[in-house]
């Protein structure tokens, strides 16, 4: 019975992890602005004191390099003297708690999570759910695209990463940058269709 209990627990934990962990990207943009005219970029590097990247220059450079690579791979050029858009990026993190449950069945307190129903340490069916919580760090990387002529925000993308928070490895920083640039390109195409 213990092997069945362990297998069920492993499946449930993996299912919870796949839904809770990973990168999700959202964006918004100025519908009146023509994003297709943006071709050359530079970075804005000044940050608020509460931005973790203000003291973590290694990670800031990692994200900037990844953003640069993905922008250039999609036809944009970095031009410090004559850029028509500015890229600014920031980070935030906070502790989150998720509550999970198994509907209608469970396993006893011998496993150590949740609360016990009758028949401790026995497999049970139909006697109510097991409920447990897990804590994690939710990290957010926000990228702003700013019109260099007017200094107005024209696009914002936000990547939420619940796996490691803000402490990105090279691979994670690359994935965040890729997803944000991909979203920017999608919004640019949508913007162009709306104006045609």
Domains of the chain: 22-106+136-195 (3.30.160.670)
* Mean pLDDT split into 10-residue runs, the chain, 196 residues: 40 37 85 95 86 81 95 96 94 71 52 41 50 67 95 95 60 91 96 80
Q: For residues 157 and 179, what is the distance between their CA atoms, to the nearest angstrom?
A: 9
Closest by alpha carbon to 23, among 126, 140, 128? 140
Q: For residues 42 and 72, what is the distance between their CA atoms, to the nearest angstrom?
A: 12
Q: Residue 33 has what pLDDT? A: 95
Strands 77-78 and 40-44: parallel
Ramachandran class of 22: left when φ > 0, alpha when ψ lies in -120 to 50, beta otherwise: left
Q: Residue 52 has what pLDDT? A: 75
Q: Residue 89 has what pLDDT? A: 93
Q: How far apart are the first and last CA of the chain?
A: 64
Q: What is the pTM of this model?
A: 0.67
Q: Residue 10 has what pLDDT? A: 35
Q: Residue 92 has what pLDDT? A: 76
């Amino acid at each position: 019975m213990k092997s069945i209990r362990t297998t069920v627990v492993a499946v449930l934990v993996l299912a919870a992890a796949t839904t809770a962990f990973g990168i999700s990207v959202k964006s918004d943009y100025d519908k009146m602005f023509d994003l297709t005219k943006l071709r050359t970029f530079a970075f804005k590097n000044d940050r608020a004191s509460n931005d973790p990247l203000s003291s973590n220059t290694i990670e800031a450079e990692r994200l900037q390099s990844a953003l640069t690579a993905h922008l250039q791979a999609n036809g944009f050029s970095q031009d410090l003297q004559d850029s028509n858009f500015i890229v600014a990026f920031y980070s935030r993190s906070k502790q989150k708690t998720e509550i999970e449950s198994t509907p209608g069945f469970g396993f006893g307190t011998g496993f150590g999570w949740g609360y016990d129903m009758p028949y401790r340490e026995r497999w049970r069916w139909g006697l109510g759910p097991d409920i447990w919580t897990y804590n994690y760090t939710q990290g957010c990387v926000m990228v702003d695209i700013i019109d260099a002529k007017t200094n107005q925000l024209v696009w914002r993308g936000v990547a939420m990463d619940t796996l490691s928070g803000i402490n990105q490895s090279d691979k994670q920083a690359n994935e965040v940058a890729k997803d944000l640039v991909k979203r920017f390109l999608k919004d640019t195409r949508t913007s162009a269709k709306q104006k045609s």
